[in-house]
Amino acid sequence: MNIIKQKALHLLENAFGKTGTVLAVRAWEPATFFEVDVHFPDMDMSGWKRVQHIKVRVGEGIYRDYTPAGWDEDIRTCTLYIHAEQDGPGAQWIRSLRTGDRITYVGVGATMHKPTYAGEMVVLGDMSSIGHYLALQQLAGSRKISGAITIADENHREEFKEYFNWNIQPVKNNGDGGLQSMLKWTSDKPLANSNIYISGHIPTCIRLRKELKKRNDSPLGILVQGFWS
């Protein structure tokens, strides 16, 4: 993020910044993936027909986007699912977060992704997409979503299967952004009647979309929401 954008966000934070309180933090094993339950009393979720994202202050003048999932309107809580295998400011912030801490965020924004009602919904992404697709599933209600999430660590793949009763498979991320695993997962699936959602690592999203567009059975749509590069 360039310095002008950071300064603008800092001004916005002073004018419109809101806070939430951390209710619980759960780390997966190894501790490079975190679930954070947060109470956001003033969160404006009027756009909750699409998956939303919030800009969270992770350091002095530094903000990162995270996705509210499991939104409960009555008690105004949600869970953030944060991947922290890297060593960026967001990853450092989440590793230091404790129950009772305050979270400051600037605004709630809509992403490109919302449920589609024609055809099937197929989702593809990496661990930074888990919360995003849990939110999409919540919005889609009882409609089944299938797909694959690329996960490098074997124990994380086991935890994914154990924690989520979901028709989405954890597949191995071989260090190529998970591209080959996602292509392999799609290779024997008929996709002509599917809307495909892609999110996560931006270069991988672009390559995956390009490969899927080469298929003979053209999917109904390919909807990309890039997160990080």
Question: Residues in the site for ligand FAD, rule: CB under 6 A?
Answer: 53, 64-67, 81-83, 85-86, 88-91, 111, 128, 131-132, 227-229
- Taking CB atoms, the residue at the shortest distance from ligand FAD is 88
The residue among 195, 216, 207 whose CA lies nearest residue 123 is: 195
123 CA to centre of own chain: 11
The residue among 62, 19, 49, 41 whose CA lies nearest residue 110 is: 49
The residue among 204, 221, 202 whose CA lies nearest residue 213 is: 221
* Closest distance to ligand FAD from the beta carbon of 130 (Å): 7
Written as one string, the DSSP assignment of 55-76 is EEEEETTEEEEE--EEEETTTT
Q: Which residue number, 28 or 66, has a Cβ lying nearer to ligand FAD?
A: 66
* Closest distance to ligand FAD from the beta carbon of 104 (Å): 15
CA distance 184 to 151: 14
Number of residues written out for the chain: 229
* Closest distance to ligand FAD from the beta carbon of 228 (Å): 4
Q: Which residue number, 30 or 190, has a Cβ lying nearer to ligand FAD?
A: 30
Q: Which residue number, 65 or 158, has a Cβ lying nearer to ligand FAD?
A: 65
Q: Which residue number, 45 or 91, has a Cβ lying nearer to ligand FAD?
A: 91
* Closest distance to ligand FAD from the beta carbon of 217 (Å): 29
* Closest distance to ligand FAD from the beta carbon of 214 (Å): 26
